[in-house]
Amino acid sequence: MEIIVRKRHIDGIPVSIYETDTPDEKPVIFSFHGFSGYKDGDYFKREDALARLGFIVIGLDTILHGERRIDIYNQLSESDKMKDINTMIIQSAEDAVMLYEKYIKYMPRVKKDALYAIGVSMGGAISIYMSTIYNLKKAVSIVGSPSMVEFYKWKKEKNGWADDTYYQRNLDYLKAFDPVLNAENIKCPLFLTGGLRDETIPYQFVEMLKKDNVTIKLYDTPHMPNQAQFDDAYQFLTEEGN
């Protein structure tokens, strides 16, 4: 089965669309990359795999990432960039909803009311947050944190950030968006993975989201996930029910 990849620049957002060269209607899945990554850089080729499973896969560069990088931001240290990670998460989910509502749902071969999301690390967090603002069918996070507030506090300690106004204002602002604190807004089944040896996003953050329709599975891995996590995610996305 041949995979067609279309790359476009939609509303200033670089987008890659993957699908099989078949005329049937397909569900759409957004695939979100991790912090400092870009839309076509997945080591596990998940966009290709998801397209073969029958999805139209939409990859987009998160703001300040990939082809949306800007010089003034590139000059910051990784630690300083990390201070804005939740802003990027929220913006990317909003970008995805806007692109879907404005264009994608009207595109040919797009199955009605069948939108999914998947992402790795920061991309997983985007996927989880998106499930709080849009009626997805299912969402997957591979080694991502559903927590914004507690995760941000932990990042402060780990990176030695100052307890300054910028930090405090972000912390306060995130309370209204944090999927753990606003879990009632999640209306679809979620599948979350965590790595037992993950020191970048410790699995304890993954476990903070306790809800009937949330399935959590931990693996003996560091922050780099293994193929089993993707295989389990693909099974979750394609099986009926949940």
Partner 1 sequence: MKQDWKWSLVNITEHLYDGIPLTIYNNDDQKKKPLIYFFHGFTGNKDANIMGRGEVLANMGFYVVAIDAYLHGKRMSDLEKIRSNVDKYEDIIEIVMHTAKDAKRLYHKYFKYEPNVLDDHYYLYGVSMGSLTAFYLSTIDPYVKAMAGLVCTPSFVDYYKDKASMYGFNQGFFYERKLDYYKAHDPLNHIDQLKKVKIFMGVGTKDQVVKPIYAETLKEMVPEVILNHYDTGHVSTTDMLNDSYQFLEGVKNSGNHR
Closer to partner 1 at the Cβ: 25 or 67? 67
Stretch that binds partner 1, among 42-50, 52-60, 76-84, 120-128 (CB under 8 A): 76-84
Size of the site for partner 1 (CB under 8 A): 28
Interface with partner 1, residue 7, by CB under 8 A: no
Interface region with partner 1, contact rule CB under 8 A, candidates 19-27, 43-51, 100-108, 230-238: 100-108
97: Cβ contacts below 8 Å, ≥ 6 apart: 130, 133, 134
Among 1, 2, 6, 9, binds partner 1 (CB under 8 A): 9
| Residue 167 is a binding residue for partner 1 (CB under 8 A) | no
Q: Which stretch binds partner 1 (CB under 8 A): 84-92, 194-202, 208-216, 226-234?
A: 84-92
83 has which bridge partners? none
Q: Please state, as a whole number, how many other Cβ atoms lie within 10 Å of the Cβ of residue 220.
A: 9
For the bound state, the minimum distance from the C-beta of residue 93 to partner 1, rounded and expressed in Å, comes to 14
Stretch that binds partner 1, among 127-135, 144-152, 167-175, 210-218 (CB under 8 A): 167-175
Which residue in the block uniquely carries the two structure tokens 């307890």? 163
Does residue 63 interact with partner 1 by CB under 8 A? yes
Which of 70, 162, 164, 241 touches partner 1 (CB under 8 A)? 70
Under rule CB under 8 A, residue 106 binds partner 1:
yes
The only residue of 72, 157, 164, 199 in contact with partner 1, by rule CB under 8 A: 72
Which tokens hold the place of 144? 């991502």
How far apart are the two ends of the chain, measured CA to CA in Å?
28
In the chain, how long is the greatest CA-to-CA distance?
A: 55
Does residue number 41 form part of the binding site for partner 1 (CB under 8 A)?
Answer: no
Backbone angle region of 143, left / alpha / beta, with phi > 0 → left and psi within -120 to 50 → alpha? left
- Closer CB to partner 1, 170 or 193, in the complex: 170
| 93 vs 118 by CB, closer to partner 1 | 93
| Single-letter residue type at 200 | T
Binding residues (CB under 8 A) for partner 1: these are 9-12, 14, 63-64, 67-73, 76, 80, 84, 87-88, 102-103, 106-107, 165-166, 169-170, 173
